[in-house]
Structure 1
Amino acid sequence: MNEEAFDVFYGASVSRLIGQLYVMTGDFAEAQDVVQEAFVRAWEHRAELDRDGAPEAWVRTVAWRLAVSRWRRVRTALSFARRQGPSATVPPPDTEHVLLVQALRSIPAAQRRAVVLHHLCDLTVKEVADETGCPVGTVKAQLSRGRAALARLLADTELDPRTGRLLEVGA
């Protein structure tokens, strides 16, 4: 089957196949997904489809097998999840983390990257310069401006911009 013939075949049968798989699976989005995947595979085997004489049946069979495979994977994953028991409760992020992330999001990206690499990843100024492709002087300027911006942003919060820790109430 050449490309033009495949395009005609696709246009003539895709809606019908999606409808059939929808009825078979009960899930319209799933039917769309598996039919599209089956057509991708049919495209790769279009020369064989021409000889087969039943390209629509081939696509429908492949789509059905894809749907069954997905169900099996989901069933296996659910079974595994049930055996693991209830998930552990995850505590919410602490206040100082939230304040610091908000402040970091407020400064320019270049300054944020320099501050994170230097202060959180413990890279030297030279290592930050190498990683970012900036001169050392530029990194120093970004760090200086970034720290100053963070200090201004965190000045009205309970987070001490010098230590990154919450200030004691009444301190």
Structure 2
Amino acid sequence: MSVTREIRIGGPPPDPAPESPALSFDGFYHAHFRALVVQLAAYTGDRSQAQDLVQDAFCQAFARWERVAGYDDPLAWVRRVAWNLAHNRWRRLRTAQAYLRRQRETHVAGPNPDRVAVDTAMAKLPPRQRRAVILYYLADLSVAEIADQERVAEGTVKSWLHRGRAALAAQLRESTGEVRDV
């Protein structure tokens, strides 16, 4: 492998083509947007909010790109702005929630005894039976859909449902002395 080099004798080295600030910002934006969204989504727990925050941070960077581009690490500046925006948004939300809590008094009725008995009985079921009962009765999934989701045969799901219902009936019978509909 041979390397050819151009040797210029005399005169200054050729100037690289000047890159316009808009083009360099575009490349910077496309290179770092996704990574910053992932970081902020992990921090905020909301991908949509993270996208908004990072977009706002890049807007601020674009408005002062001449100066930001000259920093040693422009990405660190944009990241700090995005994190500050997230923190400020969280602080405003916390303040608003505290205000709302002070403004209205809410009374929430506790669960009725039937609900407590069912919840207690459900907690005693083995995890697979509990999951099958929840998916069948609360999520309204069919036996075939549950089997597909859990990657088991339909007969296995039917067995889990049968055993789960029998265990729930026995638990409810013990706790209340009567059988309740599950």
- Normalised by the length of structure 1, the TM-score is 0.48
Please tell me whether Structure 1 or Structure 2 has the larger radius of gyration of its CA atoms. 2
Tell me which of the two structures has the higher relative contact order, counting C-alpha pairs closer than 8 angstroms and 6 or more residues apart.
Answer: 1
- Normalised by the length of structure 2, the TM-score is 0.46
